[in-house]
Amino acid sequence: MVMEQRFTPSEHRHPAAVARRPRPHWGHLSRSVSRYGVVSSELVVYSPDAAERDRRWAELSRVFGTVVAGGALLAWIGFAAAGVPPLIALLAIAAVAIPAGIVLARSTRAVRHEAARVASCTSGLQPDTADREAQRRLDALADAMQQASEEYRSGAMDPERFLQVWRATYVHAQA
């Protein structure tokens, strides 16, 4: 018995069927909530004039601590399994992590310092109109960039239009 499989493309454009562009490294949005209901947000928008390579390194710099902590834990386990003395293992991990962190921090300094930053801290317990207005501004800028990024990646927005949105958001974030 022979089974034949046929694939008929759907008329509906499923997200998996659409070729996606790589994620543009325009910046990031960070949010944290304390146990007392205080929401801290920070939007960082890199300069559109910064080189793509430099922006990627700046993104790596942002997550470097987490990546190093995970890598150091795995290295520590590997060293322990190999019977390496703890002091030697610690020195080996530090010999790699510290210089890498210094080089990364120094090489991304310009991109990180040119970035536009918008921060907001609001309380869920005490409404404050000034804090709420800052949060609305941050949310509007973040929504604009995230929406433009998604449309760019899906192919619904051309690179020139994306760059216009990015520049406008960068200018508004600096104001």
Domain ranges of the chain: 24-46+119-175, 57-114
How far apart, in whole angstroms, are the C-alpha atoms of residue 55 and residue 24? 9
Q: What is the pLDDT of residue 127?
A: 66
Look at residue 75 and tell me whether its pLDDT is greater than 90.
yes
Q: What is the mean pLDDT of residues 93-102?
A: 95
User: Above pLDDT 70, what percent of the chain?
Assistant: 86
Looking at per-residue pLDDT, the higher value among 136 and 92 belongs to: 92
Whose CA is closest to 31, among 40, 23, 22? 40
Look at residue 106 and tell me whether its pLDDT is greater than 80.
yes
CB 162 within 8 A of CB 152: yes
Using a 10 angstrom Cβ sphere, with 0-12 exposed, 13-18 middle and 19 or more buried, the burial of residue 79 is: middle
Mean pLDDT taken over the chain:
84
Q: What is the pLDDT of residue 167?
A: 92
Name the phi and psi angles at 42, rounded to 5: -140, 125
